[in-house]
Chains A and B, each alone.
Chain A
Amino acid sequence: MSTVLENLVNRPYKHGFVTDIESETAPKGLSEDTIRLISRKKNEPEWLLEFRLSAYRHWLTMPEPAWPNVKYPKIDFQDIIYYSAPRPKKLGSMDEVDPELLRTFEKLGVPMNERAKLAGVAVDVIFDSVSVATTYKQKLAEAGIIFCSISEAVREHPELVRKYLGTVVPPGDNFYAALNTAVFTDGSFCFIPRGVKCPMELSTYFRINTESSGQFERTLIIAEDGASVSYLEGCTAPKFDTNQLHAAVVELIALDNANIKYSTVQNWYAGDEKGVGGIYNFVTKRGLCKGVNAKISWTQVETGSAITWKYPSCVLLGDNSIGEFYSVALTNHHQQADTGTKMVHIGKNTKSTIISKGISAGHSNNSYRGLVRITAKAEGARNYSQCDSMLIGSQCGANTFPYIQVHNHTAKVEHEATTSKIGEDQLFYFQSRGIGAEEAVSMIINGFCKEVFKQLPMEFAVEATKLLGLKLEGSVG
């Protein structure tokens, strides 16, 4: 049986190819000069350079966080390339996009071009550090929606960027957020004006291509009063033996009655079965429900990366605002994940829901870490948390670290946690009814994750289901 499980969880990484595109790359290393170079390459205004530099100076004083339940060798921040871009070319239409690049996305199965239109998905593609092409911009513009790369937003809508950038995740928030603020290269910007419901799902596909390049993207999404948007993010990276750093920052701002739904399917390269290579995914994602009745919902399916360190959070400032976190984190081989959420209740009658499903296989280690804080003013706040762990095999680990801080006696906070194991007997039960081990594992996992999958937009739910199957699939011998 153990061989069955071993085979099931051993499967090669499908997206591990390198695209041969000429890229313009800065030398390795980080200094104020590197930051000035990035800022100059992007023709940024002075205030943004200063913003970066002050974050960098702050970062120099900060220690690397040691509290996560993950182990890795010390990162040499001077051994990373902080800027890498496909050779600049002015792109008028999709036809002008490097065919090699388009083939890359085809291999990745990213819906673009006509396929994107058919699927009703607007894709803003981030390839290493520069946003390559944005489809559907026209149609969105008609609705008054701005959806572009953050670099473009800095050029075209500097007042909006300046007003909101760093207001949810301040430059000195944490070590990796400070680093990101200093060196972020690109990312997405999305602005939904008052009263507008975004007519389609917005989607960004991130991919890291150059060896030893870090990807530091920055995403900023603003939904004004009564606006709503659903945003999808997918991530992949080619295989390299060296570890690559990915330190992104995502900020969401929801004003009165606004609704933001942010979904991620993360499949960064996880390293090989011995734990060599893979992405270090150290990401700060935070949403601010600034207005009354605002709602921010995070859904994530995390299957990749050598190390995941990520806590998509909600600050519930507006009265009656709602925060949600739905997560599936799967780790295999030697992957490590320390992921969860923070729900900070400040406004009255604020509500939050946390549903976390951790799946560990191989020698991996999977931790849920979550904070629920009810501040003194948060009359009538409510939280419900459910953290379930599933173990496949006997050499993996699962941990739950819930932090609950309640400063208002009218609050109602519930926390439930379970741990289960896909055991020999469960698989055998399926087999004795004619169902093979692979299909059995897939059915059990999908059953385990269904509360989260049903939160994903349809196409993503299908992709996520497939992805989990692939991650655990193998020839049963």
Chain B
Amino acid sequence: MINSNAKVLLEVRNLSATVAGVEILKGINLTVRAGEVHAIMGPNGSGKSTLAKVLVGHPAYGVSDGEVLFEGKNLFALAPEERSRAGLFLGFQYPVEIAGVSNSAFLRLIYNTVQGARGKDELDPLEFDDFVREKMKLLDMDPSFLDRSVNDGFSGGEKKRNEILQMALLEPKLAILDETDSGLDIDALRTVANSVNQLMTPHNAVVLVTHYQRLLNYIVPDYVHVMEGGKIIKTGGKALAEELESRGYDWVMDEYKAGAGAVA
């Protein structure tokens, strides 16, 4: 839902970033307001996932230029855990397995940590158990997930649901979902998409990083950005995603090159 008077949650200005000394992002500009859904699309290696990881502060990525404001404050002044407590969330493309740490203990810890950061009451294990089971029903998750180790032995789809479950618990202001649709069959995709839609309010926003437009049939974006070579080369509405689906990416690149050539 576009409301140009809504609060700006995220302001990315001319962001460049490197991994292992190689520049992957080359001047990204992006503004996300409360209530909006953004989709970032683009071919493999265009820098979509890098953008997501730089924003949440993955240590393997270095910022070489530009700035990012989150609710008007310098995001890069915050440690990754502080960014999370401030309301930024990343749903990982490949959630890591943590053997030996029970999912229920992990979920309760992250929930209570963010509750504490917001000055709200923490839940004891019994209260939390009731609370999390309700959230899991929405995601069609079996309660047995609570007794397993975090993501350990989960299928691809199960891991993605566990990510969205964490999003539901943390209620972030801005959620970046990196390829959340990959590994999901069509029913699971619908369930996950419904959950994300239910979590949307006029006060938060979602950035979807995806290859395919099929997720966008369920979570309808206000903006679609096309990334290539570490830049956003085109921005449009939902119709752009459909066009990409039918025509591929090449024409956008050609158009961009022609445009760039014309300017030069």
Contacts of A435 in B (CB 8 A): 81, 109-110, 113
- Listed from nearest, the 5 A-B pairs whose CB atoms lie closest are A447-B100, A447-B101, A434-B84, A431-B80, A433-B110
Given contacts A428-B96, A435-B110, 15 further A-B contacts (CB under 8 A): A1-B60, A426-B98, A428-B58, A431-B84, A432-B57, A432-B81, A433-B110, A433-B170, A434-B110, A434-B117, A436-B79, A444-B101, A447-B100, A447-B102, A448-B99
Contacts of B166 in A (CB 8 A): 433
Determine whether the beta carbon of A443 is less than 8 Å from that of B109: yes
> Which residue of chain A is the closest to B109 with respect to CB atoms?
A435
Interface residues of B in 90-108 (CB under 8 A from A): 90, 92, 95-96, 98-102, 105-106
Number of residue pairs spanning A and B whose beta carbons lie under 8 angstroms apart: 70
A95 close to B (CB within 8 Å) = no
> Which residue of chain B is the closest to A448 with respect to CB atoms?
B100
**Contact for A444 among B60, B85, B95, B100, CB less than 8 A:** B100
Interface residues of B in 27-69 (CB under 8 A from A): 56-60
B176 CB, nearest partner CB in chain A, Å: 10
Determine whether the beta carbon of B98 is less than 8 Å from that of A444: yes
Q: How far is the CA of A170 from the CA of B75 in the complex (A)?
A: 67
Q: How far is the CA of A430 from the CA of B98 in the complex (A)?
A: 10
Determine whether the beta carbon of B81 is less than 8 Å from that of A436: yes
User: Which residues of A does B touch, CB under 8 Å?
Assistant: 1, 420, 423-426, 428-436, 439, 443-444, 447-450
B163 CB, nearest partner CB in chain A, Å: 10
B114 close to A (CB within 8 Å) = yes
Residue of B80, B85, B105 with most chain A CB atoms under a 10 A cut-off = B80
Q: How far is the CA of A363 from the CA of B121 in the complex (A)?
A: 42
Contacts of A432 in B (CB 8 A): 56-57, 80-81, 83-84, 89-90, 92
B255 CB, nearest partner CB in chain A, Å: 36
A420-B99, A431-B80 are contacts. A443–B106 as well, Cβ < 8 Å? Answer: yes
> Which residue of chain A is the closest to B116 with respect to CB atoms?
A434
**Contact for A434 among B81, B102, B149, CB less than 8 A:** B81
Q: How far is the CA of A58 from the CA of B113 in the complex (A)?
A: 61
Q: How far is the CA of A450 from the CA of B149 in the complex (A)?
A: 12
A431-B57, A433-B84 are contacts. A450–B96 as well, Cβ < 8 Å? Answer: no
Contacts of A450 in B (CB 8 A): 100
**Contact for B98 among A424, A431, A447, CB less than 8 A:** A447
Contacts of B57 in A (CB 8 A): 431-432
Contacts of A1 in B (CB 8 A): 59-60
Contacts of A434 in B (CB 8 A): 81, 84-85, 110, 113-114, 117, 170
Contacts of A431 in B (CB 8 A): 57, 79-81, 84
Determine whether the beta carbon of A424 is less than 8 Å from that of B60: yes
Interface residues of B in 142-159 (CB under 8 A from A): 149
Q: How far is the CA of A444 from the CA of B57 in the complex (A)?
A: 21
Q: How far is the CA of A425 from the CA of B85 in the complex (A)?
A: 19
Q: How far is the CA of A439 from the CA of B79 in the complex (A)?
A: 15
User: Which residues of B does A touch, CB under 8 Å?
Assistant: 56-60, 79-81, 83-85, 89-90, 92, 95-96, 98-102, 105-106, 109-110, 113-114, 117, 149, 166, 170
> Which residue of chain B is the closest to A433 with respect to CB atoms?
B110
A424-B59, A447-B149 are contacts. A429–B98 as well, Cβ < 8 Å? Answer: yes
Q: How far is the CA of A433 from the CA of B151 in the complex (A)?
A: 14
**Contact for B96 among A426, A443, A447, A448, CB less than 8 A:** A426
Residue of B56, B58, B81, B105 with most chain A CB atoms under a 10 A cut-off = B81
Contacts of B170 in A (CB 8 A): 433-434
> Which residue of chain B is the closest to A428 with respect to CB atoms?
B58
A434-B117, A436-B81 are contacts. A428–B106 as well, Cβ < 8 Å? Answer: no
> Which residue of chain B is the closest to A439 with respect to CB atoms?
B109
Contacts of B79 in A (CB 8 A): 431, 436
> Which residue of chain A is the closest to B90 with respect to CB atoms?
A432
Determine whether the beta carbon of A428 is less than 8 Å from that of B101: no
A319 CB, nearest partner CB in chain B, Å: 36
Selected A-B contacts with CB under 8 Å, 15 pairs: A420-B99, A424-B59, A428-B58, A428-B59, A429-B96, A431-B80, A432-B84, A432-B89, A433-B110, A433-B113, A434-B81, A435-B109, A444-B98, A448-B99, A449-B100
> Which residue of chain B is the closest to A436 with respect to CB atoms?
B81
B113 CB, nearest partner CB in chain A, Å: 4
B207 CB, nearest partner CB in chain A, Å: 15
Residue of A420, A439, A447 with most chain B CB atoms under a 10 A cut-off = A447
Contacts of B58 in A (CB 8 A): 428
Contacts of B117 in A (CB 8 A): 434
Residue of A420, A426, A428 with most chain B CB atoms under a 10 A cut-off = A428
Q: How far is the CA of A447 from the CA of B113 in the complex (A)?
A: 19
Residue of A420, A430, A439 with most chain B CB atoms under a 10 A cut-off = A430
B55 CB, nearest partner CB in chain A, Å: 10
> Which residue of chain B is the closest to A418 with respect to CB atoms?
B99
Q: How far is the CA of A428 from the CA of B84 in the complex (A)?
A: 11
A476 CB, nearest partner CB in chain B, Å: 9
B243 CB, nearest partner CB in chain A, Å: 33
Contacts of A428 in B (CB 8 A): 58-59, 80, 96
> Which residue of chain A is the closest to B94 with respect to CB atoms?
A425
Q: How far is the CA of A273 from the CA of B113 in the complex (A)?
A: 33
Q: How far is the CA of A316 from the CA of B234 in the complex (A)?
A: 74
Q: How far is the CA of A430 from the CA of B106 in the complex (A)?
A: 9
B64 CB, nearest partner CB in chain A, Å: 19
Q: How far is the CA of A459 from the CA of B229 in the complex (A)?
A: 58
Q: How far is the CA of A433 from the CA of B150 in the complex (A)?
A: 13
